[in-house]
Chains A and B, each alone.
Chain A
Amino acid sequence: MSRRRIGLALAAASFAWGFASSVAHATDISFWTWRQEDKAAYNELFGDFTKANPDIHVKFESFPDENYPTIVSTALAGSKGGDVIHTHAYGWLEQFVKAGYFEPLDMATVPSLANQPADALVSGTYRADKKVYSLPFASQTLGLFINKDVFAKAGLTPPTTWDEFITVSKALKEKGIYPLANGMGTSWFNEMFVAIFTNPFLGQDFVGDLTSGKTTFKDPRYVAALGKLLELRPYMPDGFEGIDYETAGQLFLSGKAAMLAGGSFDIATYRSQNPAINMDFVAPPMAKAGDTPQATKFFDGGYAVNSKSANKEAALKLVNWMGTKEFGDKFSALLGNISPIKGVVIKDELLSHVAKLNETAMPHINVVYFRFEKPTGSELLQGDITKMMSGSITPDQLAADLTDGLAKWYKPFQGK
């Protein structure tokens, strides 16, 4: 009796479900991303898209950062996955392109490619066939967050040079404030931490020498810059080895710490966590007064179309729209990320600061140049940097490990 009733209910439910789906939208496509915290913003953007294209609805699906590559690669290997996929740039993208999982984008299908500057397009281009596979979405800037209220209360001015940084830090520490919020507990951020503080000592020339094969990471300039990082240790929180990037953010937002090496991608998050925060985003300390301020920049990733998508046309339409100024303006306003799209207007004062820093910024060397093959510069550096900061290896050893590891596949380093 009761079993029969359940059966009837199931039949009714499946009928209702079938009915409901038959009146659903003409095309439903999905967007996959690791940016869980951006859900509201993307849903608003996709709402705009659907207004212009009423027959296409976009579903936002996000995954934990750390599992994202696993999930994407397993799904794509099985000819599944979102129709539009948020990708990281450079080497990360390349392995997927190599396997044929993404659709090449060209001016015919995605005319908005024309709105992208050349260096941005490089981040989404496969080196072997020179085709673009991922439409760049943001230019990220790494630098130093300043809690202006903390500085004002302490009667200090934010530092611009390394020497000022040390002096100011000593004064802050005496007042019981952590000068620098960062710790070494989050390996992906450690790599950014290194880039932020070493780049002003390395300069554009070093990047040129490195990429042209004139020098390696064993270069005395690189070793000396790494040595500078060791001087930061007294000004980081107690037990800094175990402080992760989230905790560092909390120390900064709560005013327990005055400065935080961080990324412009977190501006929106910090503002939502503490709307009262009075902060600035500046270039990291320069080697000496009069240098050009040197923040670090890289293109984070882009939007790619799954080559196995059943709705390729709709997916391409969406990606094309994500390359328009209309999208870029709202994207920058909602997420506090700087869109690479030409002509995007940035109204926010802090963000326009960041955009200015971006103009003179140095590339994030490892991300841009050394993630194409195994072992990547990132995994080598991330493995060694905590050891260096805890004193169990020297900057020389780190530089040697990095160079020798990369020499496996990076020809200019071989035999050096």
Chain B
Amino acid sequence: MTAGWRHTERPFPWRRSLWIAALLTPALVVMVLFVLWPLLSAFRLAFYEFSGLRPSGFIGLENFRQVLFEKPYSDWTYNAFKHNVIAFLALMVFENGTAFLIAFALLKALPGHRVHQVIVFMPVVLSAVIVGFLWKLFLHPLFGLVNQLLGLVGIAAIPWLGSENTALGSILFANIWHWLGFPTLVLLAGMQRISKDVLEAARLDGAGDYALMTKIVWPLIAPSVTIVTILTFIGSFNWFEIPYVMAGLTGSPGGSTDVLGLYFYRTAFGSTTTGIQDFGQGSALAVLMFIFVAGVTAIALRYLRRREIEQ
């Protein structure tokens, strides 16, 4: 650190170096011990075979080969991956689409808009475990609130979480209910940054609400859209809690709600009656997920940022 003297504005006493080091040490130690080291180890463990729960030998890329190319593991990997992709697309369209509409409605600042902001954000502060259990009870085929309400208008009971056709959609619905407030308020903040003059000018030129929304607001909130897209992507591929609570570790029924988070957990830790634990294969899955999410995020950020600059 002594070499740093030359770059500072004034002589830099050794006591100050010590002082700076003291300020940085606690945070750095925690990061190195509980983030850096475990993460590097996770990469290492992916190359080992495990006998029981301990590494028993280096096997190169074998774990990766199994989860990517060997049936039935590869089938399970792609099945789970497919559901993550579906979740991402569905959340982009339904969650963020609804959020955009509500944000636009809130932008008008009509009477009561503050209360509506507080309401739409309320579920966001709840634990996914609470939200998951709550909707699991509501979606129960016989006694659940949803089917009871539908029964009032003469619709027969639907096994929401039990049928392959509806289970993933039901879980996504619960997730949207949980998180809707987040993109809504992020997009609203983006909209509020658009200068009043721009909006006024457009209005004076005779632009209606629809034209205002599509021609002015949408292009000008590109930075917020970027952030929301990236966060939705990361969230979709690290999805774990709500599927775990609502559909269980195996992604029932029949793996129709299985996502990479569950599959990773199940592979690494097993479940009571199915599967044997495999820390090696589990680590390989974790590494692949990490590389995929980090890689796509980096590329997307580049691309989306460029769009912002062009605007």
Contacts and interface: CB of A to CB of B under 8 A. Distances in A.
Do A and B have CB atoms closer than 8 angstroms in the complex? yes
Interface of A: 34, 65-66, 68-70, 73-74, 76-77, 88, 91-92, 95-101, 183-188, 191, 237-243, 247, 251, 367, 371-376, 378-380, 382-387, 390, 392, 401, 404-405, 408
B237 interface: no
B41 interface: no
Contacts of B276: 91-92, 95, 371-374, 376
B119 interface: no
A69 B252 contact: no
Given A99-B51, A101-B53, A188-B272, A241 B72 contact: no
Contacts of A380: 72
Contact of B271 (A69, A183, A401): A69
Contacts of A186: 252
Nearest to B160: A242
Contacts of B112: none
A188 B266 CA distance: 14
Contacts of B274: 187-188, 376, 378-379, 382
A196 to B, nearest CB: 15
Interface stretch (B8-16, B98-106, B151-159, B290-298): B151-159
Contact of B157 (A73, A188, A239, A382): A239
Contact of B250 (A65, A183, A251, A383): A383
Contacts, number: 152
Contacts of A241: 141, 159, 162-164, 253
A184 B51 contact: no
A404 B70 CA distance: 12
Contacts of B255: 383
Given A34-B272, A375-B73, A401-B72, A242 B277 contact: no
B140 interface: yes
B279 to A, nearest CB: 8
Interface magnitude class on chain B: 35 or more
Secondary structure type dominating chain A contacts: helix
B278 interface: yes
Given A98-B51, A247-B142, A386-B253, A183 B162 contact: yes
B159 A376 contact: no
Give 6 closest A-B pairs by Cβ, nearest first.
Answer: A242-B162, A99-B52, A242-B159, A239-B141, A241-B162, A239-B159
Contacts of B195: none
A238 B53 contact: no
Contacts of B73: 375
A46 B117 CA distance: 56
B116 interface: no
